[in-house]
Amino acid sequence: MGKSLDVVVFGSANIEYITYVAELPKPGELVAGSHMETCFGGKGANQCVAAAKLGASTALVAKLGKDESGDDYLNHLQQHRVNVGHVEQVKDNPTGMSEIAVSNEGQQYKINVAGANAFLTAKDVTRARKCFQEARVLLCQLEVDMNATMCALRQFKGVSILHLSPMRNNIPLAMISLPSILVMNQEAASHLAEMDEVKTLEQARQAASTLIDKGARGVIITMGDQGAVFMSKKSRDMCTHVPASDVPHLADSSGAADAFLGGLAYHVARFPKLTPEHHICAANACAAYSLGRRGTQPSFPGKEGAKDNLCFITPTFNVIPPPTAEAENEPEEAEVAAPPPATPPQETSAQEPVAEEIPPPPEEPFVETTPAPAPPPEETPKPVETAAERKSDEVGKVDNRNAEPAANKT
């Protein structure tokens, strides 16, 4: 029997207070803000709303305060058709809060107060057992208790995605092997892979390979304007790079990562037979859309905002070669186009689930794609001498013989 829920999210919900400034303040410095706005946020709720706005059926397992902010947030989630049956309001505790400053260049700092989020525990995984059984994709982050998050990942039997954000220093090694897909930025990748930095595609490949060695089953490293790098345990020799989508104007980066994760979860749930590069290309399109708009959840695309890029464009990606002597003689990157599906991709309906479109099991989250071998070089045809050319050559030889005596007489 098919699944009736696309995405279940286990994570945080915060109220965000965002201030826009020309430049971020230095320690002890006072700067003037251009304006301030209040938004619904928290990585868990953000990613849930991002998937819901694209059309996914979603459920959120989270905690809110029993206060005015919590009441408003609950209504907001219901307006986006998020299943809030497991969003509990905690008495005598405030809804979580985040203070964010965003510069004109899109840089930001963030201060988070957990509030009611601190009360999300492993018991809530048990209470939400039905949602976990019905969902195709589980989405988690690191803004709530890590033991509770690890419990959620262990209990889920579909495709699980763990966003390693915000980065922590005490991540258990066992956590790396639990999800089907690990998603992280360059800083988190360098920390977990024990590298000085991850700035180039080759360094990203090295970091992903190290994480596979540590037990990860699938790794996506987001590289900002360079796009994203993907490697799986099943085919680790083929590490792919999916370029970023165009961003005509950078307005605010605060929601881009959550737009990427929500888009990724939606696409994996609704189009499980497409390739990893299709899924990542769709997520890149959502992130690019968000970067061009202010705010967090208000910047997420809806069904029309990213529809074309989400499922009807065949993505182009690059294969990052391994660092071997043979690869040094090859071009740095070989461009490959992901094969389009035989028929236009069909979304898996939440109301009428189709058994054959259930996502693959956790150990095989993606369908792997191997680039076709390059065709052998064409042989250059040998020139064929015509009769007229042979006759012309013979006449030339006679002329040369006649010219030799004259040359000798000079």
- Identify residue 290 by its one-letter amino acid code: S
**Side chain identity, residue 252:** D
**CA 64 – CA 108 distance, rounded (Å):** 25
246 labelled ligand-binding: no
User: Which strand (E) or helix (H) includes residue 21?
Assistant: strand 14-21
Pairwise CA distance, residues 188 & 229, whole Å = 14
Work out the number of other CB atoms within 10 angstroms of the CB of residue 386: 9
Is 254 a known ligand-binding residue?
yes
Is 263 annotated to bind ligand? no
DSSP 116: G
Say how many C-beta atoms besides its own lie within 10 A of residue 332's C-beta. Answer: 11
Q: At what angle do helices 43-54 and 256-270 cross, to 10 degrees?
A: 50
231 marked ligand binding residue: no
In 10 A of CB 236, how many CB atoms? Answer: 15
240 is in an annotated binding site: no
185 is in an annotated binding site: yes
Please check if 189 is assigned to a binding site. Answer: no
28 is in an annotated binding site: no
**Residue 71 assigned ligand-binding role:** no
**Burial group, residue 174, by CB count within 10 angstroms (0-12, 13-18, 19+):** exposed
Establish whether 67 is an annotated binding residue.
no
The gap from C-alpha 229 to its chain's centroid, in whole angstroms, comes to 9
Looking at residue 390, what DSSP letter applies?
A: H
295 is in an annotated binding site: yes
75 is an annotated ligand-binding site residue: no
CA separation for the pair 236, 257 (Å, rounded): 25
Catalytic residues: 258
Ligand-binding annotation for 396, yes or no, is no
Q: Judge whether 222 is annotated as a binding position.
A: yes
DSSP category for residue 208: H
234 is in an annotated binding site: no
Residue 60, Cβ neighbours under 10 Å: how many? 29
Give the residue ranges of the annotated binding site: 42-46, 143, 185, 222-227, 252, 254, 258, 284, 290, 293, 295, 299
Give the residue ranges of the annotated binding site for substrate: 42-46, 143, 258
Give the residue ranges of the annotated binding site for K(+): 252, 254, 290, 293, 295, 299
Give the residue ranges of the annotated binding site for ATP: 185, 222-227, 284
